[in-house]
Chain A
Amino acid sequence: SQQGEEDPQALSIQEGENATMNCSYKTSINNLQWYRQNSGRGLVHLILIRSNEREKHSGRLRVTLDTSKKSSSLLITASRAADTASYFCATALYNFNKFYFGSGTKLNVKP
């Protein structure tokens, strides 16, 4: 299966701390995307990193991609209670936008 797998499955931190989530996948990808899902809601796209990129920033988010290890990490700096959500990585293959989602990391940021 191409499906990405996130690690850890759950993470609980205090507000202000950094949160790091990892994603591993199995085959070559075109790009990797991270999504956030608040409880009971749809997914929201956070950031996309292409296979020829190694690092990308967006606000408090930092994503890295290591294609040799087939892994990615999402770092949320200075976390806030509002960051409490499930975070999913999605790997996009080269052919026609096929996406595969992992099982997610459930982040809880305590105020």
Chain B
Amino acid sequence: EAGVAQSPRYKIIEKRQSVAFWCNPISGHATLYWYQQILGQGPKLLIQFQNNGVVDDSQLPKDRFSAERLKGVDSTLKIQPAKLEDSAVYLCASSLGLADNSYNEQFFGPGTRLTVL
């Protein structure tokens, strides 16, 4: 079974530029998550999709971050314009998304390491 795919793996941009990350979850997984992980910290949930609907985006800085999951499969996360403090690893994860989440472990992609100069 293929895992969660993310691209690119690394990205270096200057502040005020824009950047986009792509995620392909495991086939059949209804729930998709985007996390931001700053060095030395735990992952912080940015946005959570259930199929193509947003379940939680309370910690997404909506003035500069946006995300979509068209057709309930792939997802893109965009930052425009980027700030220095956006330097982090952006992790995508997916889970089965059963209504009873007792068995819903998350499968993580390798992440995209973003450096904003």
A residues near B (Cβ < 8 Å) are: 3, 30-31, 33, 35, 41-45, 48, 50, 88, 90, 92, 94, 96-104
Contacts and interface: CB of A to CB of B under 8 A. Distances in A.
A35 B107 CA distance: 10
B41 A103 contact: yes
A44 B55 CA distance: 23
B101 A42 contact: no
13 contacts: A41-B111, A43-B43, A43-B108, A45-B105, A45-B107, A48-B105, A88-B43, A96-B50, A97-B31, A97-B55, A98-B56, A99-B45, A104-B42
B50 to A, nearest CB: 6
A74 to B, nearest CB: 15
Contacts of A96: 31, 48, 50, 55-56, 97, 101
Interface residues of B, number: 28
Interface of B: 4, 31, 33, 35, 41-45, 48, 50, 55-56, 91, 93, 95, 97, 101-111
Contacts of A48: 103, 105
Return the 3 tightest CB-CB contacts between A and B, nearest first.
Answer: A42-B108, A101-B42, A97-B101
Contacts, number: 68
Given A31-B102, A42-B111, A98 B42 contact: no
Contacts of B111: 41-42
Contacts of B101: 30-31, 92, 94, 96-97
A92 B105 CA distance: 10
A44 B50 contact: no
